[in-house]
Homo-oligomer: A and B are copies of this chain.
């Protein structure tokens, strides 16, 4: 239960790698994919999603590639995960559009709300800066 998908895992690996590269240079998708051991075509889809919400900037054509959209300390793990996995929703009664008519009287509901808050909090507390391996 509650398992991150490959897509989410790949997304993190990819953007963390990018955050560890010189921030003023573009990075080839194929290089990132090779470095973090992810199928390039799959990673392409992921970075397209990143690009749409500005997490990364993309440049097409010769000399193109990807750059981080913001400084690493301004990007949280929560953003990265939600970019590709959607919102953190441990049960559908805590989704934005809740889907359970029992939620008013249900004693379990607040537990899921709590779980949601804690997970979001844990992921939001971590930025890409802290995730790049410093040595």
A-side residues, CB < 8 A to B, are 1-5, 8-9, 12, 16, 77, 81-82, 85-92, 105, 107-108, 111-112, 114-115, 118-119, 122-123, 126, 130-133
Contact = CB atoms under 8 A, between A and B. Distances in A.
Contact of A119 (B8, B105, B115, B130): B115
A50 to B, nearest CB: 16
Contact of A2 (B2, B9, B130, B131): B2
Nearest to A126: B111
Contacts of A92: 3-4
24 contacts: A1-B5, A1-B81, A1-B86, A1-B88, A1-B89, A2-B2, A2-B3, A2-B90, A2-B119, A3-B89, A3-B90, A3-B91, A4-B91, A4-B92, A4-B112, A105-B133, A107-B130, A107-B132, A108-B131, A111-B126, A115-B119, A115-B123, A118-B118, A118-B119
